[in-house]
Amino acid sequence: MPTATGRVKFVTAIAIAALTLFSSTRSQAKKLNVITATTDMAALAQEVGGDHISVESLAKGYQDPHSSSPSQAFCSSCVRRMC
């Protein structure tokens, strides 16, 4: 079960992403890259961002996010998305 601190951090991150997304002018607007830890958070981010964001989750739906360890593929995915 998520903690209150975790929920606050997530809501803050979504708010910052939304502010960043909507503060751009239309001529400068491009998709915001969002990387989440779980598929649940990816689905929520996609609902909030709609067509304005591109979402990727690091863990797959069947993986336990608490026991997953970062791999080379995770790091490569983050770097590819951020650049």
Integer Cα distance of 55 and 60 in angstroms: 13
Integer Cα distance of 22 and 52 in angstroms: 9
Better pLDDT: 4 or 79: 79
Better pLDDT: 47 or 62: 47
Better pLDDT: 12 or 33: 33
User: What digits encode the pLDDT tens for the residues 23-52?
Assistant: 555 545 688 888 888 888 899 999 999 999
Residue 47: what pLDDT? 92
pTM over 0.95: no
Average pLDDT, the chain: 75
Mean pLDDT on 73-82: 72
The contacts of residue 65 (CB under 8 Å, 6+ apart) are 37, 38, 59
